[in-house]
Chain A
Amino acid sequence: MLIEIKNLKKIYNQKTVVDIPSLSINEGELIGLVGNNGAGKTTLFRLFLNLIRADDGVVLSKGNDVSKDDNWKSYTGSYLDEGFLIDYLTPEEYFQFIAEINNISQSTLVERIKPFKEIFNDEVLNKGKYIRDLSKGNKNKVGIAAAMLIQPELLILDEPFANLDPTTQIRLKKLISEIKARDVTIIISSHDLNHVTEVCDRIILLEKGIVIKDSEKTEGTLKELENYFTV
């Protein structure tokens, strides 16, 4: 078990936004988190990453409480939003920085950037721009690449397909499948049910902070989800 949630609760203004009594995630699982706006997806991710304080319960990563012990940082790659990017750096500088603080050598960095060349589509590297000057989609690409570069054991991506062009979406799906083959645990959220059911092998459906469905993907999952979201 890589991640274990026990009795997790987050409350904002007397409103419970996350309430998960128990949930475990095993090594090598590829999990899709779905739910409408306000379902608590991002909040849950932030709890995974110890960015907000849980009002109750714990998130254990490899058995350690993420709020007590920073060990998870060394094997967790994440990209939730632009708040993760140091936007006044050029993409090269940013990757360099990420590599340095993760003790990745220059040559390894070059090697690890290579698979992203296709996704970057010549619009990210060596363009003489700071990250803040890039388009939303390209910022997204930088963030995702930075999260993957450290070759994490756990990868957390919030809405990775948002703002990406169709070609890149397909390339990213391919990349995610490749990473999964290395037994990396991946948790992604998405509003696009097609993407989620295509790549993920376990789907968790959140509604108002509560897990209302958690099952292995089967033939009928897409249909089921579509029915759920059709009001």
Chain B
Amino acid sequence: MYKIFLHHQLLEFWRGRNKASGIITKVLMIFIILYFLLVAIGLGFFMKSFLTKLFPGKDPVLVFNGFILYYFLADFLMRVQLQELPTLSVKPYLTVNLSKKTIIKFLNLRSFFTFFNLLPIFIFLPFVFISIAPISGSLSAMAYTLIVLSLAIFNNFLILYIKRKAGSNGFIILFGVAAMLILAALDYFNIISISHISGLLFSYISHHPLWSLIFILLPVSIVGINSKYLRNNLYLEEISKKEVAKVSTDYPFLNRFGHTGRLVALELKLILRHKRSKSALTMSFLFVLYGLLFYKKQLIDKNSFGSLLFAAIFMTGIFQIVYGQFMYAWQSSHFDGLLTSPVTAKDFLRAKFLMFTLAATLVTMVTFFYGFISWKLILLHLCVYLYNIGFGTVIVLYFACYNRKRLDLTKAASFNWQGVGASQWLLGIPLLLMPFLIYLPFGIYDLPFWGIISIGLFGLITLAMREIWLNLLTRLFIKQRYKIAEGFREH
């Protein structure tokens, strides 16, 4: 029976809607996952040298012990964000001759196959066997393994349980996250120390490995609770989320832009009412912190804007990159409706320009806090901002005219590659390369300020030419619209 289920799952993966987005994307996805796993394995094998380097003079085993519970706390928060409920669409199986027990067992089994369950194995076990086994003996190594696996499985099913429960009560998930955050905060302010507890626990276990057997209770009980919940709630209406009453909203601010503004309001609702687009928005704001990684003091002091450029473009233009790359596919489900409505192609495109401009302006204003680091960064962001709204928008909308992949908005946000095609990858090249090309000659002759000002000027000129771009894009859009619409109609 499980074989049939697994077979169906495989078929679903390979035959999934949108066949075209197919193999290349899937292979790429597999590569990315492999990459992360490789990093994890590397981390695992070189853990000892990492730990001795990071915490010189401390016993790496003790540091490691202190770190384990921490990891699972972070793991929990990461899973809340990213792990999805196993998507065996239960519906067709409920009415055929299969016991609920079988379906539930399969659902449980299926949920093991997630990237998040592999990570801890690769991160922790190499160190356990390389460094701990020789010191404390193989029995304690086994004990470590047992606990790591137990905790991983516990987290796995706890998340699923919370997410299933939260299907009927949105507060539970908030509550769970809040509890974890409070724990993290308590640790941060040294009120209770998780690393201390973790250290104590694992030192004890390494001496009394048999006690680790207690940890088996964790996964066993959570799997039990989960299965019981599923057994009682395996009904269609209860698996799917309970509805909250939806309200109509209006954005009076946008009405002053006429039809264009109305289209922006429409798209704003689209963004706010779908998980996938909403995550593009949250990402835009999270990426504002990107500069903290990139902006090194010596780079700023030396005015090496070339090295800062990438982060700056990315931060100020993030929305048009992450949201714009799927343009106009966000509207693929009602594209026919738009084409038959009296909205003109020009208004349609003008609305996109307006939306990108508003978004970039907002994000750029947020990034001005980098001014506390250096005033130069504000100048840099302003210039790059002009580039983004002047030229970046044109590039994004140009590529959008060649994107014919339907986007299924009802699907989840993370690790979702549905609707990804070649145009998404190509888009980044001119968008990110252009400012470097402009900057390059100035960089070579050591005129960094002239370099970024040229980028800004370039942006300003292209911005002034917007009406021309608009006409060109309108013509292209009208030419392409049949193909776009045809692609969007294909499920």
Which residues from chain A sit less than 8 Å from chain B, CB to CB?
49-53, 70, 73-74, 76, 78, 80-90, 92-93, 96-98, 100-102, 128-130, 132-133
Contacts and interface: CB of A to CB of B under 8 A. Distances in A.
A97 B340 contact: no
Contact of B336 (A51, A74, A96, A102): A51
B484 to A, nearest CB: 11
B337 A88 contact: no
Nearest to B347: A101
Please name the 6 residue pairs, one residue from A and one from B, whose CB atoms are nearest each other, closest first: A128-B245, A84-B337, A83-B336, A73-B342, A53-B482, A88-B273
9 contacts: A70-B344, A73-B342, A76-B340, A87-B333, A101-B343, A129-B243, A129-B245, A129-B246, A130-B273
A83 B337 contact: yes
Contacts, number: 84
A178 B270 CA distance: 36
A88 B274 contact: yes
Contact of B246 (A82, A96, A97, A128): A128
Given A80-B336, A84-B336, A85-B337, A52 B485 contact: yes
A87 B273 CA distance: 10
A133 B262 CA distance: 23
Interface in B328-371: 333-337, 339-344
A133 B343 CA distance: 26
B328 to A, nearest CB: 13
Given A52-B485, A85-B337, A130-B273, A90 B243 contact: no
Contacts of B333: 82-83, 87
Nearest to A83: B336
Given A129-B246, A130-B273, A86 B266 contact: yes
Given A84-B334, A86-B334, A101-B262, A49 B248 contact: no
Nearest to A156: B340
Given A51-B336, A93-B248, A101 B485 contact: no
B429 interface: no
Contacts of B248: 89-90, 92-93, 96
Given A73-B340, A83-B489, A97-B266, 6 more contacts: A49-B340, A52-B486, A93-B269, A97-B262, A128-B245, A130-B246
Contacts of A88: 269-270, 273-274, 409
B17 interface: no
Contacts of A89: 248, 266, 269
Nearest to A52: B482
B236 interface: no
B247 interface: yes
B376 interface: no
Given A52-B485, A101-B342, A128-B246, A83 B334 contact: yes
Interface in B380-419: 409-410
B259 interface: yes
A174 to B, nearest CB: 26
Contacts of A78: 340
A128 to B, nearest CB: 3
Contacts of A52: 482, 485-486
A222 B234 CA distance: 48
A74 B334 contact: no
B250 to A, nearest CB: 8
A50 B259 CA distance: 22
A100 B243 CA distance: 29
Interface in B446-491: 482, 485-486, 488-489
A85 B249 CA distance: 17
Contacts of B485: 51-52
A87 B270 CA distance: 9
Given A83-B333, A97-B266, A100-B262, A90 B246 contact: yes
Given A52-B482, A128-B247, A98 B269 contact: no
A51 B340 contact: yes
Contacts of A74: 342
Contacts of A102: 342
A83 B489 CA distance: 8
Nearest to B331: A86
Nearest to B274: A88
Contacts of B266: 86, 89, 97
Which of B335, B341, B410 is the most central at the interface, judged by chain A CB atoms within 10 Å of its CB?
A: B341
Contacts of B249: 93
A85 B334 contact: yes
Contacts of B488: 83
B349 to A, nearest CB: 14
A83 B243 contact: no
Which of B249, B262, B333, B336 is the most central at the interface, judged by chain A CB atoms within 10 Å of its CB?
A: B336
Given A52-B486, A88-B409, A90-B246, A70 B334 contact: no
Nearest to B409: A88
A8 B156 CA distance: 59
Contacts of B334: 83-87
Contacts of A96: 248
A128 B341 CA distance: 25
Nearest to B259: A101
A229 to B, nearest CB: 28
Contact of B339 (A51, A86, A100): A51
A96 to B, nearest CB: 8
Which of A49, A78, A101 is the most central at the interface, judged by chain B CB atoms within 10 Å of its CB?
A: A101
A50 B482 CA distance: 8
Which of B247, B262, B409, B482 is the most central at the interface, judged by chain A CB atoms within 10 Å of its CB?
A: B482
A90 B340 contact: no
Contacts of B342: 70, 73-74, 101-102
Which of A92, A97, A133 is the most central at the interface, judged by chain B CB atoms within 10 Å of its CB?
A: A97
B478 to A, nearest CB: 9
A221 B344 CA distance: 42
Contacts of A130: 246, 273
Contacts of B269: 88-89, 93
A124 to B, nearest CB: 13
A158 to B, nearest CB: 11
